[in-house]
Structures are given as structure tokens and as C-alpha cells.
Structure 1
Amino acid sequence: MPDRALSTPLDDSFERYLQDKGKGRGGDGGNYRRNAARELERFVEWAAGDRGADDWTGIVPNDADREPTFDDLDERVFREYARHLGGDRGLKQNTVQTYYRYISAWCGWCVNEGYLEAHYAQRASAMAPLPEDDGRKPGDQQAWTSEQRHALTRHVDERARDAVEAYTTLPEDTDSLDKQRRRYAALKAARDRALVFVLAYTAVRVGELLRDPNDPRRRGIRWEDLSLDDGSMDVYRKKQQWDAASLPDPVISPLRSYHQLMNPPTERWPVFPTFDQRTLAELVREELVERGVRSEVITKRRDEYARDLLLVLDEDIRPPSITTDGARSILQRLSETAEIDIDHPKHDYLAPHGGRRGMGEVLVRAFGYTVAARYLDNSEEMVRERYSHIEAGELGDVATEALSEIDG
């Protein structure tokens, strides 16, 4: 191996690696890239002695005044890092495994690129301190129960009905700004209702519905992606391709009434646009300046509207979709206002993935694993693994029945 590679600082390889693993044009997007970048930064800080126990000085020899290089790496380093991850930081077993896998994947890439002679991170001695993986994905165990689903959908439905009625029954002589405020409130309540119903009944991943700032291909579904008459919508799946997802009956009416109320300028508008005032204000200013509108005219135009959302509708200034984090914030707010009883070690609200998992429970129990796998856009093997507790419970019932017959 060339001495040049051995003397290369570790972090000099990070950008090329992340580009190779990233998504979109130039490899700049994707959750994997973001998470891998975070763990690589932690690893190089640890290697330099900035993380770990008080007496940890890093992997560079004490008599050397330089940053860590590939010449400092061997299986003992990765063994020590595995021990560091599994230390007293309160990380779950599977989280430790996940963090180590990011570093191990980078190590393998470095072998292929000529930075390292061997995949030290995958050697048995390096991995020995890692805890056993308990097979659970952190944070992905919540499932909305039928009671929770009904409580949340009933709550958002009542809020939307009240807000729409308050807007549509205003007297004709209502002040323009007051009328706009009522319309804005109705739009927000209708958007929240549509989002909750889609998450509760379609089992579509939240990342397939909304914008991911780290993946330019996930810009959030648009009205043109929906076919309410056919009961379907096109989403960009986890498997990196567009595919049709089902829109069951409970979802159609909230989406249809929301579309009618919004009346988007074009069908290319996002179904779930952001309502964030700061984002919309900046968007209005930038777009109108680009159209040649003077600053004082923009200010006067904005003063005519109670909210910038209503201005962007009238001017066809297409806003971005809410993000996946935005959806979580909405569900936190709605779970609190609905006063839903939630008993979960990680989430004190109904998280988006819980809607998908709860629908999976319903489908497996009603139609079995094969049908559920098709609806969930997963392999049957994965669905059986994820919902193995259902089969275990059913087998337990069979065993109980068998015992009762034998014992008479």
C-alpha cells in the first residue's frame, strides 16, 4: 500500500465516502449520508482523544503531534471503539450495533479505495465487545391501537368540521381580514385532518408522503400524485422507485373536502404545504422580487392578507411541503389536544410510524401476512418478523385449546 494512503488523515476520506453513499444528484442527500456523517465525525473525535474516558488520549502515539491517519488503524482500534460504544452511555444494544455498522461500512469502503489493507472492523476480535443485537429497531415499536386511532381521527374530524363551518357560515358583511383568518384556520384544520387520516389508514411511510430536506427526490406528494376517484396515489417508495399506494375509503372524504377548500392554483401544489409563517414570508419576498415587484409594493401586498399562505395561494407561489419532522410536531400537538392516553417508553405522542404499524396489525389479523405485506410494501418475511407477536399469540390460543381438550 502506498505510504501516501497510510499517512492520509481519516477525515480526508469522509466526503468521497459520503458522496458514494448519498442519494440524489452529487450524492448530497439521503438519511444514510446524514447519519453516517454524524457517526464518522464522532469516530474521528474519539480517535483524536476528544471523546471517551477521562484518561483516553486517542489512537495517535503520545510522541506524535498530528491528527489520526490510516496508519494508526488496526483491529485493536476498532475493538476499543466497540468497547467505547457499549460503555456506560445508556445506548441500547441495537443502537450500539447500528452506530458500529456505520463505521464498519466506511472501513470496508476504505479497503476498496486503497486506504486500508484489511477490513479491520469486521474481524471477530474487533467486534467481540459489541453487545448482542436484540433485533428491535429503536423507536419503531409503537403501534396505534384501534382506540387511539379512533380518538385521534375523531378529534381532528371535529376540529376540521367546526373550523370549516365557522368559515363558510360567516355573514356577507364580515371584514375581509376576519374572513381570511377564518379561512386560514379552516385550511389548517383540514390539512391536519387529511394528514392524520392518511397516516392512520394508508400505512404509507411518512418519508414517502412528505419532504425530506436530506433527499431532494422526496419533495412531498402533490395533488397531481393523487387519484381520489381511483383511490390511489403515487409515492416514491423506500425501494427508490415510484409506485401506487392505496387510498382506502376513510381517507377520500377528508382529502376531497380539503382540496375543495384549498382550491390550489395548480395540481402541482403540495398536498401538505408548510404553514410556517417565517418560511412563507421569505418565500413571498424572494418570489415577488424575482417577478420584478418593488419592495414597497410587496409590503403593501402582504398587508392585505391575514396570512402569507393565502397570498401564496392567490399568487401561485408554490410553497414547500412540510417535512417529516414537521409531521411529528403536528402529531405531538394533536395528541396533546386530543388528550389521548399513550403508554410508550420512547414516545409521549402518537408518532407517524405508529399509524403505519397499527394498520399493519389490523391487516395481519384480518387478512394474514401475504395481504399485509402487499399493502405495507414489504416482503412477507419482514412482515412476519415485525408482527411475529400476532402469530405467537394465535399459536398460544391453539396450544391452550389443545390442552383443554386433552385435559378435558
Structure 2
Amino acid sequence: MTPGTPRNRSDQTLAGSFERYLQDKGKGRGGDGGNYRRNAARELERFAKWAAGDRGDNDWTGILPDDVDRDPTFEELDERVFRKYARHLVGDRGLKLNTVQTYYRYISAWCGWCVNEGYLEAHYAQRASAMAPLPEDDGRKPGDQQAWTSEQRHDLTRHVDGRARDAVEAYTTLPENTDPLDKQRARYAALKTARDRALVFVLAYTAVRVGELLRDPNDPRRRGIRWEDISLDDGSMDVYRKKQQWDAASLPDPAISPLRSYRKLMEPPTERWPVFPTFDQRTLAELVQEELTERGERPEAITKRREEYARDLLLALDADIRPPSITTDGARSILQRLSEVAEIDINHPKHDYLAPHGGRRGMGEVLVRAFGYTVAARYVDNSEEMVRERYSHIEAGELGDVATEALEEIDDVG
């Protein structure tokens, strides 16, 4: 089955997807090893049993009506189910707050994989309403929120840069007699890695909120930035800010080169094309068929035309069929994949990958330490008061150094 192709969700049981997921996430030959696989398998099994109401003392109601005797299928899953499970984790097992977050992340990661594999239409587990019952305040200070360290930023950007360079070189150095479809496949691979590189660099260096950069399905004003919103020569881009208005954001030098290279490779047919379009095959297939039908092409002609392309994205580029931007959930899925493949060392109680907001907070850390709170507040588009609160651990550390120096001077005098 082509990735992203919708499945018949009414006859697909949840447990039927577990082995494939665990193989993808496992280590070693066949994906049958690794701590993550073992822990994820345990939590997935518990989730399936909870969904089926499979418990000896029968205090789990499950997600099916009482008169239905079968295992739950993907057809029954929506954000309300994950909300109920989040509430179950919080209240039913006496778990510590961080453990609740960890166990829910196993289920959420599987849910994201199911979207990519066509089992689910949306990443329901990441919806705000689904995650609402999860504990928010576990005693951590603002400075304990994830912030990409310099080493993590370097490791991730170096990884995506290497992947993109290799893919672009493989495409641009193909022999002239290369089969057209093979050449298209190479171009598609180069485009995808170049898009991922540009996205990572923008998140790592601009401190722009991911919701300002990409599409929010629940807010039509947040349609994702387009090429018309970016000025590579000026080093700026227009984004729809959290304060509900358009504003200019800075594009520092590290982000400009990946964007320029990516644009050259893509050659968007118009400036209104999204900078970070979805590469989801299911979405693009539906879009291409609908648009070509509206343009008056008959089904047989559409089928023949699609067969001339290795991917619908390439047809969309040639025919100027503008796809939607990737969503904020899509960006999280991309970063989860890249963090895992790049083997980034992450030790954080909430995230096992480099989350988008961590790039923003990481840049905030850099700017506060280098130029102070006022400059950092302007760059991250926040009040100085908020920045001081969020990065209070930096000031506390600096005051600690001052106190230490004062004590040393007193001791010297004594």
C-alpha cells in the first residue's frame, strides 16, 4: 500500500497495527529490539485492553456500545477517546505526573504513525482537547521547559544538512539517459529533504512560533507562510503573530541559505505557493484529482496524466495546483522522525524528541545570555516581563555568580 493511502478503517483492529509500528520503532535486524519497543509494546497492549473494556473486575467500560461484541477498530477512534484515556491515566492507576506524560506519549507516537500509514485521518492524540486532562504543572520552573541546547541544535541541523546535500547531489548528477520516472523520484527525494532542512533551520534560528509558521486546521487565518511572505534578500518574513496581526520576523543568515537552495530546487509556479507544503500522498492525490476535474479533464485523462509522474506533488508543481501547508502536528511528526534518525541525545521529562517550541526557547536562551532580556524579548515577540519570567533561571544563575564573587571578596578581606 502506498504510504498515506486511506485504509478501510472499519475492519482494522488496533492491535493489528502494533507489530508493524513496533518493527519501525525497534532496534536491530527486524526491529525486534530496544527499550523503546519493549516499553511502547507494553503501553499499546494496555491501551488496547482499556479500549476493549478487557479487565477482570469489569470497571473498564471500553469505547464500544454494550451490545457490540468485537474488538475496537480505527473507525471508533477520535480525539474524545484519547481524552478519556488521558483521564484514565491521570486518575485510574496512581501514576506520577511525569509517568502519565510518558505513557501518553507512547500512545500519541503510535497515533502519529497511524496517520502516516493511513489508519487514521488525523493525529487525534495531539489535539488540545485530547491532551487537556494531562497534568500541566508538575512543579517544573519555566526554565525547565525544553530548550534546544547548542549541541542539539548543531547535531540536528548538521544531520538534515547532510541528508539534503546528498539527495540534491544524487538528483543533479543523474546521467542524461536516466529514466524520466527515476529522475522524478530523485527530484522528489531531494525536495523532501530540502524542505525538512529548511524547516529545521527556520525553527532552530528564528524563534518563530510553529503556529505562526505552519497551517492550523482550526484557524483559517493561519494557512502557513507562502513564498510571497518571505524576502530572502532582506532577511525577513511576514507571519501572523499570536497577537492576531501580521508582523515581520527576522530571518538570520543560517536560515537563509537552506531556504534559497530549497526554493531554487522547487521552482514554485507562483509566489502564493506554501513554503512548506504537505508531502502527504493521500492529500495530494485527492487535491490533484479534484482540481483537474474542476478544470474539465475527464477521469481517463487524469489517470493517464498522473501515471506520467512518480509523485502527485511533481504534477501539482507543473500544473500549479497549490497544496496546503503542513500542519503544526505535521511539523512535530517530522521532528520526531528526524530526532530519532539523527540519534539526538535528549533527556527531558516531557519530550523524547526536539519539539518545535524547544527551538524557539533555545534561541531565547542564546539571546538572553548574549544581549539581555530587552533584545531577546523583541526577537521572540514577547514582553520583557514574560521573557524574564520564562528565563528566570538564567538571572538566578547570574545572581548566584555575583553572590559567590561577593563571598570570596569578604573572605579575602577577612
The number of residues matched between the two structures is: 294
Paired residues for 1:276-315 under 5 Å: 276-315=280-319
- Please give the per-residue CA displacement for 1:274-333, whole angstroms capped at 9, x wherever unaligned: 000000000011101111110011111010000000000000000000000000000011
Are 2:206 and 2:360, in contact at CA under 8 Å, matched by a contact in 1? yes
With the length of structure 1 as denominator, give the TM-score of the two structures: 0.68
With the length of structure 2 as denominator, give the TM-score of the two structures: 0.67
Alpha-carbon distance between aligned partners in 2 of 1:244 and 1:141, rounded to the nearest angstrom:
26
Poorly superposed stretches of 4+, deviation over 4 Å = 85-93, 131-140
- Please give the per-residue CA displacement for 1:309-358, whole angstroms capped at 9, x wherever unaligned: 00000000000000000000000111011111000111111000000000
Paired residues for 1:240-279 under 5 Å: 240-279=244-283
Alpha-carbon distance between aligned partners in 1 of 2:229 and 2:141, rounded to the nearest angstrom:
31
Gaps of at least 5 residues in structure 1 are 1-53, 55-84, 96-130
- Please give the per-residue CA displacement for 1:353-405, whole angstroms capped at 9, x wherever unaligned: 00000000000000000000000000000000000000000000011111111
Aligned match of 1:222: 226
1:186–1:400 CA distance, 2 compared to 1 (3 A): same
Between the two proteins, what is the percent identity of the paired residues? 89
Alpha-carbon distance between aligned partners in 1 of 2:342 and 2:379, rounded to the nearest angstrom:
28
Aligned match of 2:353: 349
1:139–1:166 CA distance, 2 compared to 1 (3 A): farther
Are 2:143 and 2:392, in contact at CA under 8 Å, matched by a contact in 1? no
- Deviation at 1:89? 6.6
- Deviation at 1:204? 0.1
Gaps of at least 5 residues in structure 2 are 1-58, 60-89, 101-134
Alpha-carbon distance between aligned partners in 2 of 1:92 and 1:240, rounded to the nearest angstrom:
33
- Please give the per-residue CA displacement for 1:223-270, whole angstroms capped at 9, x wherever unaligned: 000000000000000000000000000011000010000000000000
CA-based RMSD of the aligned residues comes to 2.7
- Deviation at 1:181? 0.3
Alpha-carbon distance between aligned partners in 2 of 1:139 and 1:319, rounded to the nearest angstrom:
38
Letter of the structure 1 residue corresponding to residue 154 of structure 2:
H
1:182–1:339 CA distance, 2 compared to 1 (3 A): same
Is residue 154 of structure 1 aligned with residue 150 of structure 2? Answer: no
Aligned match of 1:205: 209
2:174 to 156, 166, 170: 170
Alpha-carbon distance between aligned partners in 1 of 2:407 and 2:160, rounded to the nearest angstrom:
47
Is residue 144 of structure 1 aligned with residue 148 of structure 2? Answer: yes
Letter of the structure 1 residue corresponding to residue 257 of structure 2:
S
The secondary structure found in structure 1 opposite 2:216 is coil
Are 2:142 and 2:391, in contact at CA under 8 Å, matched by a contact in 1? no
Are 2:368 and 2:376, in contact at CA under 8 Å, matched by a contact in 1? yes
Alpha-carbon distance between aligned partners in 2 of 1:148 and 1:257, rounded to the nearest angstrom:
23
1:91–1:271 CA distance, 2 compared to 1 (3 A): farther
Aligned match of 2:336: 332
The secondary structure found in structure 1 opposite 2:346 is coil
Alpha-carbon distance between aligned partners in 2 of 1:390 and 1:187, rounded to the nearest angstrom:
39
Letter of the structure 2 residue corresponding to residue 166 of structure 1:
A
- Deviation at 1:140? 8.3
- Deviation at 1:138? 9.5
Are 1:221 and 1:270, in contact at CA under 8 Å, matched by a contact in 2? yes
Are 2:143 and 2:391, in contact at CA under 8 Å, matched by a contact in 1? no
